[in-house]
Amino acid sequence: MKFGTKTIHAGIKADPSTGAIMTPIFQTSTYVQAAPGDHKGYEYSRTHNPTRDALQANLATLENGKHALCFSSGMAAIDTVIRSFAPNDEVISTNDLYGGSYRIFTKVHQLNSGINFKFIPMQDLSSIEEAITPKTKLIWVETPTNPLMNIIDIKGIVDIAKKHNIKVAVDNTFASPFLQRPLELGADIVIHSITKYIAGHSDVIMGAVILNDDSWAEKLAFLQNSCGAVPGPQDCFLTLRGIKTLHLRMKAHCENGSKIAQFLVNHPKVENVYWPGLESHPNHQIAKDQMDDFGGMLSFTLKDDAIEKAFELMSSLKIFSLAESLGGVESLCGHPASMTHASIPKEEREKAGLRDTLIRLSVGIEDADDLIEDLSVALDKV
């Protein structure tokens, strides 16, 4: 099936008892057994739930993977992946990444689990070779990165990792499987904050991992059940409904993202625009090679680099709402240094290139002319 058909049909079957075309919300905690151990595949909803199973089957197909597991948040998904490693194992991560990922790596797992993390810029593949040690077990990739929109060569990372028998994990949240499918490029596991583009309507908190490795999937399923960070059936239903328009929404996000990026590049008050679809982007060619389009996420800075100016602009926007998160149908703006990335120390943020004056946009699917007018009016005020 083509991608648009997969979003609607993959993993979805009409309900056998009623013929309902939409997967029912199985709002139950437990299931009646005919005799001890004699059941219909379901015992307790922390372990399995039919609504969640349908969503997991759908997600696996969208990423062209074999297994998918859903969690109560993107952070729970990340936590479970890292829990599958052992004390003294080492993880190499990109240094430009979501603040919540940095926080759980350094303040939870490095502090309490004894797993060590190195943060390096991954645009230069040679830096990865230099960082690998005998203890390195995982390379953690975000691409596009949050919030500087750097593009990392997934295939190049995989080639290096395979030489050293190291796993590769890719946080694919910014791209979604519509734009990029890391498993096809050789990655071992894909992570999503389902909250963002996949659910797409700012009404669900959820995460997921997708992979092909049977033994790793079994280990993650054990952790999923044992630790219990699973989503409820209502959220799974909402996500299944959201996925049905993923391909349509992503096309609109990409089209609007391109128009907004071009507007900002040509505006006299804007200094830098970070969007991989621009030919001036340093990783533009890699983005063309591994992505099907360039998405609706972008960041920019003003020529007047005062933080007061950035705050004034964000507070002046009317259609872009000032809020955390991204990937919903509505446009959002955010200030990474004080919002999504505040948990990263200032010196580490600046080392990665994240200035306090950076503004991040999640471009929604409204009419592009209205979004441009909104930005234009706000820019005129600063």
- Residue 291 and residue 177 in contact, taking contact as beta carbons nearer than 8 Å: no
Cα–Cα distance for residue pair 43/40, rounded to 1 Å:
8
- What is the C-alpha separation between 307 and 73, in angstroms, rounded? 32
Residues whose CB falls within 8 Å of the CB of residue 82, separated by 6 or more in sequence, listed in order: 91, 104, 105, 109, 113, 115
Amino acid at 44: Y
Catalytic residue selected from 79, 96, 171, 188: 171
Q: Environment class of residue 279 by beta-carbon count within 10 Å: exposed (0-12), middle (13-18) or buried (19+)?
A: exposed
Catalytic residue among 6, 137, 181, 196: 196
Indicate if 196 belongs to the active site.
yes
Q: DSSP code of 175?
A: T
355 an active-site residue?
no
- 3-class state of residue 293 by DSSP: coil
Task: From the candidates 52, 79, 96, 98, give the one annotated as an active-site residue.
Answer: 98
Spot the catalytic one: 31, 46, 66, 292: 46
208 contact partners, CB below 8 Å, separation of at least 6: 56, 59, 68, 69, 70, 71, 77, 191, 192, 194, 198
Q: Please give the structure tokens belonging to residue 53.
A: 């199973």
Catalytic residue positions, numbered: 46, 98, 171, 196
